[in-house]
Amino acid sequence: MEQRILILFAHPRVEKSRANLALTRSIPPHPDITFHDLYERYPDFNVDVAYEKKLLLDHSVIIWHHPFYWYSAPPLLKQWIDMVLEFGWAYGPGGTALKGKIAFNAITTGGAREVYSREGYNRFTIREFLTPFDQTAHLCKMIYLPPFAVQGTHRLTHEHLLQKAGQYSQLLLRLLEGRFRPEGLQQYLFLNDWITQTQDVTI
């Protein structure tokens, strides 16, 4: 099944973020990929709910793309979730507007993969920290996939960053083709691994 991707990008100061600049620049220009820059669109946090709902209905894959500030998303994305995912529309009785759509987080973290573990100083895994998003998607009857993550951004060299950005681009193209089963993707800890560990588009 062919997919249409909506990237909900939330970064209050992307002009100062190497990693996210690289990631956003790698997004392939494609009619079926919509890059939606929330902080640029709503600098006053006044989210246009009707417009956002229409965007959601127009797409089948929703990506929450944001830096992983304090183990969560920047406040505008939370604002977006609070305002757009309305009771009776996204969840609750009759709330089936988003049913069957795919959702996941694409995040950047300063700390490396190892520090997000029992032994690491962040004590929990990324997947654990993302539980609220997981449950949000679940409540809205969406299919929640593992995150795409660029980690240890502070120490990544320019070449490394470009490599990660290339993975993001590939991920988007694979998702567009739609020759995957969502259940098949749950085996990965990160969607990055789907790109790096297999050349097989069909899962």
Partner 1 sequence: MNGNFLMQAVVYLTAAVVCVPVARRLGLGSVLGYLLSGILIGPFLLGFIGEEGRDIMNFAEFGVVMMLFLVGLELEPAQFWRMRRMIVGMGTLQICLTAALISAAALFLGLSWQASLAAGLALAMSSTAIVLQTLNEKGMMRTAGGQSSFAVLLFQDISVIPILAILPLLALPAAGAGDAGHQSLLSGLPGWMQTLGVLLAVALVILAGRFVIVPLLRLVARTHLRELFTASALLIIVSTAWLMELVGLSPALGTFLAGVILANSEYRHELESDLEPFKGLLLGLFFIAVGASINFSLVAGDPAGIVSLVLGVMVLKTLVLLVTGRVFGLGTDQNLWFAFGLSQVGEFAFVLLSFINQLEILDNEWMERMMVVTAVSMTLTPLLLMLHEKVLVPRLGTLPAETREADAISEHNPVIIAGFSQFGSTIGRFLRASGVEATVLDNDSDRVDLLRKMGFKVYYGDASRFDLLESAGAREAKILISAISSPEINAGLVETVRKHFPHLRIMIRVKDRFDAYELMDMGVENLYRESVDTSVRLGVDVLRSLGHRGYSATRAGQNFLKYDEQALRKLAGERHDMKQYIFSVRQQIELQEQLLAEDRQNILSTNDLAWDSEHMRETISKHVPEADG
54 phi and psi, to 5 degrees? Answer: -60, -45
Select the span of 13-21, 57-65, 136-144, 184-192 touching partner 1 (CB under 8 A): 13-21
From the CB of 12, what's the least distance to partner 1, in Å?
5
Integer Cα distance of 179 and 5 in angstroms: 14
CB of 172 to partner 1, least distance (A): 23
Applying CB under 8 A, what is the total number of residues that bind partner 1? 30
| Residue of 110, 50, 40, 102 whose CA lies nearest to 76 | 40
What CA–CA distance (Å, rounded) separates 138 from 141? Answer: 5
The residues that bridge with 143 in the sheet, in sequence order, are 102
Using CB under 8 A, pick the residue from 25, 28, 30, 43 that binds partner 1: 43
Q: Where in 76-135 is the site for partner 1 (CB under 8 A)?
A: 109-112, 115, 121-122
Does residue number 70 form part of the binding site for partner 1 (CB under 8 A)? yes
- CA dist., res. 6 & res. 52, Å (int): 11
By CB under 8 A, tell whether 39 contacts partner 1. yes
**Sign, Cα dihedral of 187, 191, 192, 198:** positive
Q: Which of 47, 55, 71, 83 binds partner 1 (CB under 8 A)?
A: 71
Query: Which residues form the interface with partner 1 (CB under 8 A)?
Result: 11-19, 39-41, 43-44, 67-71, 74, 109-112, 115, 121-122, 153-155
